[in-house]
Amino acid sequence: MVGGNFLTQNEDKELLIDYHCVCIRFTSPKKRKEIIESFKKESRAIKKELKKIDLSVYRAIGPFNKKLMIMARIRPKKEEVNQKHFFQAFPFVQRLVKVTEPFGIKKFDGTSCSMFSFNSKKYKLVGELLLPASITLKPELIDRIGKPKLSGLIISFDESPIGLDTVKIERLNENVSITASTEYKFDTVENFIMNTYNHSKMVTDLFVEEK
C-alpha cells in the first residue's frame, strides 16, 4: 500500500475521536451495476446492527469520474467516545468495502480523513507553533472588523513518503484538533478501515507532545 508505510504506535495519547472518513476508488466498467447492487444489499443488511452501537455511519457508493467510489464516515453520536467504542463500527464498514472482492479488482486508490482532539492543558503542538496567535492587519481594517487572531491553519505536503496530503490544526476551546488527510494506492481492501485509522492516528501523534 503506497502512502501506507504505516507508522507504528509507540504511545497512546489521550484523545477524542471526532470522525474517521474513507473513500476508495476503483475501475470496473463491466461489473459496475453488480457492485452497486452488492453494496446496497450489504448496507441494508447492517442497518439494524448499526443502531445498536450508538455511532453514526454514513455510507454511499457512486461514480467518480470514470471510476466507482465507496465512501464511509464514522462519527460518534455523543461528544466523547473512547477508542474501543469507536472500533465497534469498523467491522461493518469493512464489510461494505469487501463487496469488491468477488469481482477480482486489484487496483484501488483512496483517501482517508480523520479528526482527533487533544486536551490543550496536557498536550501542546510540536515546535514553536502556538494557537491562538496574533496576526497583523492594517489598522484601518482592524478598526472596521476587530482584532484578529489565528486559531488554526492548514499545512499541505508534496511528495510525502507516507502519503500525507494536508494537516489542519485548530484550537477549539480547551482542545486542539488535528485533521489529517492521506492518499493511498493499494491492491487489497483487507483490513483497510483499521489500517487507515491507525495511519491517521500515528500521523496526528507526530504533531502533538505532552507538556
What are 19-31's pLDDT values in tens digits?
A: 999 999 998 768 8
Q: What is the pTM of this model?
A: 0.83
d(Cα 208, Cα 24) in Å, to the nearest integer?
Answer: 28
Q: Output the CA angle 48-50-53, nearest 5 degrees.
A: 125
d(Cα 174, Cα 73) in Å, to the nearest integer?
Answer: 25
Which residues lie closer than 8 Å to 35 by C-beta, 6 or more apart?
Answer: 28, 61, 68, 99, 100, 103
The answer to which of 6-15, 119-128, 163-172, 187-196 has the lowest mean pLDDT is: 6-15
User: Mean pLDDT in the chain?
Assistant: 86
What is the pLDDT at residue 80?
66
Does position 124 have pLDDT exceeding 90, yes or no?
no
Quickly state the pLDDT bin for 6 (edges 50, 70, 90). very low
Give the torsion sign (CA, 99, 100, 101, 104).
positive
Does position 172 have pLDDT exceeding 70, yes or no?
yes
Does position 12 have pLDDT exceeding 80, yes or no?
no
d(Cα 24, Cα 17) in Å, to the nearest integer?
Answer: 21
Which residues lie closer than 8 Å to 204 by C-beta, 6 or more apart?
Answer: 15, 114, 116, 178, 180
CB 179 within 8 A of CB 167: yes
What is the pLDDT at residue 130?
77
Q: pLDDT tens, 185-198?
A: 888 888 899 999 99
Quickly state the pLDDT bin for 4 (edges 50, 70, 90). very low
Direct distance between the N- and C-terminal alpha carbons of the chain, in angstroms, rounded to an integer? 34
Domain boundaries, the chain: 16-210
Mean pLDDT over 150-165 rounds to 90
CB 140 within 8 A of CB 169: no
Quickly state the pLDDT bin for 65 (edges 50, 70, 90). confident
Does position 79 have pLDDT exceeding 80, yes or no?
no
d(Cα 121, Cα 115) in Å, to the nearest integer?
Answer: 19
34: nearest Cα among 95, 104, 107: 104
The answer to which of 64-68, 81-85, 194-198, 205-209 has the lowest mean pLDDT is: 81-85
d(Cα 163, Cα 103) in Å, to the nearest integer?
Answer: 27
